[in-house]
Amino acid sequence: MSALLWIAAGLVGMFAVAWAGRWAGQKATGNAPRFRDMPLAVAFGYVAAVVALVGVLIGYVNAYSADPAIANKYFFLWVAVNGLVIFGIAGWLFRLLGRSVGSAATRKLFRQMPLTASFGILVIILYAILAIFAGVIAPYGQSEILGAANVIPGGNPAVGGDPAYPLGTDQIGRDILSRLIYGAQNTVGIAFVTTLIAFVLGGTFGFIAALVGGWVDQLLSRMVDVLMAIPSLIFSLLLMTIASVWADGEKGLLTLYMILIIAVIDSTRVFRLARAVGSGIVVMDYIEAARLRGEGIRWIMFREILPNATAPLLAEFGLRFCFVFLTIASLSFLGVGIQPPLADWGTMVRDLAPFINFAAFAPLVATAPLMAAGAIALLTVAVNFVVDWMLHKSSGLKE
């Protein structure tokens, strides 16, 4: 109860400071419009922002003065602030690089790019490199069981770390860093392939529905309606149950089924978009001209419609990839997705999750599950930032 009283007192105090600050501003600037027209809520917003910043700063300094290996509440704040600053600087440097090298067109692109988008592109490139060269970069194999189990992340021998395993090892002694890197290959690779299949399926049928129309369109659209009426995670869990009976313990086969199941479920969303975009294009004069020329349906689909539908489909590809990636991660987290010997971020989160309870007295231990979950979040956030920027750019900057 006293905590609530303290919070209420703090809010009242902040309002008082906001009012006083606005009044002081009015006096100091001779009633400049900036202060004269400022609502109290906005002044309060400024005060709240300052209070939040100061709070973070105090936590940061507290964490910095203490040894991060021992019990310290502010350790995670310290990590988060450092991560944010480092990523921000990296994104800024990357944008600077993009502005000064490359052709005139890419330089112009980078000049107009917000920091979030350049950060997103940088992260995507890094993940792509990790995924492609995982075998070369990772110090150990993904399912290689090494000598020591439960090595603490950080590589500091004084608190139970080992420089040979910079991010520690898990309960049965597999190197977490290597598994994270291989996870990029497995999780991202599988999600990418799944999205590609979903696009080929959904795009083709969507264009066919738009182009042919009539009963074909009706049939396809109603089928898609039914498939979309079941929540996608629920439907994929149901189908995975069936697939696990079919696969009968064969893990490779089960992964293949998972790819197909998610691809089909997600292709319904692609179908909707492709059909909507396609039916806008089909009524154009150049399609009419192509038809009169006697072109076949394949020519019209891939040479006439597809090039004109690239922009919305590309943005959709980014979003769809995020959804597919999150679905696969969730399925793996629930234990029915990518199967154990393969390193995968969702499974890693589930396996390492109990470590989070050590956060109060051994913060380094608790970082293990958060790293895998953070790896998922970082990629989806990055893709979303880029897609958001692309959509904003193509929408012609509304108010």
Write out the residues near other proteins by the rule CB under 8 A. 39, 42, 45, 49, 73, 76, 116, 225-227, 229-235, 237-242, 244-246, 322, 326, 329-330, 333-336, 346, 349, 353, 356-357, 359-360, 366, 369-370, 373-374, 376-377, 380-381, 383-385, 388, 398-399
Structure letter (DSSP) for residue 388: H
Question: From the CB of 191, what's the least distance to other proteins, in Å?
Answer: 12
Rounded to an integer, what distance in angstroms lies between the CA atom of residue 164 and that of residue 80? 25
The residue type of 129 is I
Alpha helices (runs of H) in 283-309, residue ranges in sequence order? 285-293, 297-299, 306-308
Closest CB to other proteins among residues 159, 228? 228
Q: Which of 272, 279, 278, 303 is nearest to 290 (CA)?
A: 303
Closest CB to other proteins among residues 85, 212? 85
Question: From the CB of 98, what's the least distance to other proteins, in Å?
Answer: 20
Question: From the CB of 252, what's the least distance to other proteins, in Å?
Answer: 19
50 burial (CB, 10 Å; 0-12 / 13-18 / 19+) is middle
Question: From the CB of 51, what's the least distance to other proteins, in Å?
Answer: 14
CB atoms near residue 243 (< 10 Å): 19
Question: From the CB of 382, what's the least distance to other proteins, in Å?
Answer: 9
Closest CB to other proteins among residues 30, 39? 39
Closest CB to other proteins among residues 203, 374? 374
Rounded alpha-carbon distances, angstroms, from residue 222 to 26, 181, 216, 225, 228: 63, 42, 10, 5, 10
Closest CB to other proteins among residues 75, 199? 75
Closest CB to other proteins among residues 19, 235? 235
DSSP code per residue over 170-199: -TT--BHHHHHHHHIIIIIHHHHHHHHHHH
Question: From the CB of 94, what's the least distance to other proteins, in Å?
Answer: 17
Question: From the CB of 336, what's the least distance to other proteins, in Å?
Answer: 6
Q: Which of 313, 307, 323 is nearest to 383 (CA)?
A: 323
C-alpha angle 38/43/48, rounded to 5°? 160
CB atoms near residue 302 (< 10 Å): 13
Closest CB to other proteins among residues 128, 212? 128
C-alpha angle 323/333/327, rounded to 5°? 15
CB–CB of 349/216 below 8 Å?
A: no
Question: From the CB of 278, what's the least distance to other proteins, in Å?
Answer: 24
Closest CB to other proteins among residues 13, 45? 45
